Homo-oligomer: A and B are copies of this chain.
């Protein structure tokens, strides 16, 4: 989904673009907090996107703020419909969703312009993404004429959990509110991935699906999210960047306030080729991106799974004061692999302080060897699960050499009540400004789920040690950037 056209760039257009950009925060707010929404291409046919969109508005309490446009209907789902945008009372709507066939989009845009609607999401496809560049250029020039900001075409638009706005033409899902924003040309964030966010307790502030990016692009949205008080963590999926300089300038400023995590695809020649034929994007040399991202504090990830893991850690955890990690594990193999991953990710495993050693000795047999990672297997056998984890975690939380904790459990039969001790321990850890990450090792899914449901969103739960270390390393990397740029 999504193919980027190069907008014609005459001197005048560039100048007007710069002017528009400066106001983009204010201008974009119309996309996220509209007074009213016109739906051009609203439908009475439940199989159509133009029906689903209206249905979603009704379900989300936007019934009085949505104005379906359909030449043949007087009402849709109990909402009064209008024959044309022009029939909608002046001033009630400041956002339009367009879902009519591609050829009819320029006309619809004209009508919006005539009626003073300055924000338009074009959900229809059939533009540059399928080679129809001419039609997309017409959209751009029409929009410019009226001073309209266009998201799309080929975009399912935005989600704003604080206002309840949900523009995609896909089935509405219950969405967990929170501080994480997702931006990308893909529609995945507001559809398939949304279900994953729900299950893994990733709380959403905004989602933006940019589509073809004929006008509004990732830099506009980045600026908006940088100023958005609801957004604490910004996650982006990028294939190519149109205005690298602007992205860097913005990122440099914003990343001092909130983390920006980027999954940049088109890293390799094959990926760039795929991006070119898929979105027309010129993905550019990856080393340059890598250097640029580092320079402006962007955390880079390689996989969607990693993007979500890292986002979850940022959303819930205090930044550690340093890179010293304490690891408690009930499996020796978990400790050894954790040490590898820590070293590969630039983290340290400090020796336990004398005080900590004294404290943990109480649950271990006398002959046990104590280190970091702390393998608690023999303590569990001697003192029981709960007492062991309670004593060791508490000791490491209080250890002044430890900036962050990873606790690894390989539970076979723990109940939610058992798991709950980690909630208290984790919260105590966080109160001391230390990050706390929990691993419920790959086993039965029900057990993992039980840990997730008992501990999240306050404490992030991972299915493998490696993924927890990766997420923690991102916190440390970001913290280092923030400290260095002060």
| Contact surface of A with B, Cβ cutoff 8 Å | 1-2, 125-126, 130-132, 170-171, 184-188, 191-193, 195-196, 198-199, 237, 239, 263, 265-271, 273-275, 277-279, 302-305, 308, 331-333, 335-340, 342-344, 348-349, 365, 367-369, 371, 373, 375, 377-378, 381, 410-413, 441-445, 447, 449, 463-464, 466
Q: Which residues of B contact A340 (CB under 8 A)?
A: 265-268, 270-271, 274
Pick the contact of A274: B171, B274, B371 (CB < 8 A): B371
A224 to B298, CA, bound (A): 50
Q: List 8 A-B contacts (CB under 8 A).
A: A1-B332, A185-B333, A186-B332, A265-B337, A274-B340, A278-B335, A305-B464, A308-B442
A413 to B191, CA, bound (A): 11
Kindly provide the distance from the CB of A123 to the nearest chain B CB, expressed in whole angstroms: 12
Q: Which residues of B contact A412 (CB under 8 A)?
A: 170-171, 191-192, 195
Query: In the complex, which of the residues A130, A196, A274 has the most CB atoms of chain B within 10 Å of its own CB atom?
Result: A274
A192-B331, A271-B337, A279-B336 known, 15 other contacts, Cβ within 8 Å: A1-B377, A2-B332, A132-B367, A188-B333, A192-B441, A192-B443, A195-B444, A196-B443, A198-B444, A199-B444, A270-B348, A273-B349, A274-B335, A305-B442, A305-B464
Given A185-B333, A335-B274: A269 and B442 interface contact (C-beta under 8 Å): no
Query: How many copies are assembled?
Result: 2
Kindly provide the distance from the CB of A281 to the nearest chain B CB, expressed in whole angstroms: 9
Q: Which residues of B contact A184 (CB under 8 A)?
A: 333
Q: Which residues of B contact A331 (CB under 8 A)?
A: 1, 186-188, 192
Residue of B nearest to A302 (CB): B466
A333 to B209, CA, bound (A): 12
Q: Which residues of B contact A463 (CB under 8 A)?
A: 305
